[in-house]
Amino acid sequence: MKKKITQILIILTIGFLVVHYIIEYRNHKKLEVSFQITQGKIINYYEIFPATHYVEYEFFVKGIRYKNKLNPEFELEDCPDSKNCIGMIFPVKYEIGNPSNSTIILGKN
């Protein structure tokens, strides 16, 4: 019985991951086709595991505030220790018609 439950949990986990990556891929493709650029500000930088860092950012479109987070490919200088990156401004690319689908463009200050 335990083996059957374990198998079901593994299948469900794999299914969830596949659906998650399909949604992420579709959002990425939509963002590449129909986008605008605005300015966004880093509002938080945190770490879940020693090698997993997240940047949380905000930006405004037509007076509406949007927040999102990104797991950057690189660690922002000084950010993990001093949090000096909080408040820094970077370009944000967002999908026209769905600004909640966005990404911050780090390294281009």
List b or e across 62-94, with b for residues whose CB sees 16 or more CB atoms inside 10 angstroms. Answer: eeeebebebeeeeebeebeeeeebeebebbbbb
Instruction: With a cut of 80, say whether residue 25 has pLDDT above it.
Output: yes
64 against 107, higher pLDDT: 64
Confidence label for 109 from pLDDT (cuts 50, 70 and 90): very low
Q: pLDDT tens for residues 36-84? A: 999 999 999 888 877 788 899 999 999 999 999 988 877 776 676 667 8
Cβ-Cβ contacts under 8 Å for 32 (sequence gap 6 or more): none
Q: Can you give the residue range of the structural domain that contains 50? A: 35-109
Whether residues 26 and 41 share a domain: the answer is no
Number of domains in the chain: 2
Whether residues 57 and 89 share a domain: the answer is yes
pLDDT of residue 90: 94
Whether residues 54 and 91 share a domain: the answer is yes
Q: pLDDT tens for residues 58-71? A: 999 999 999 999 88
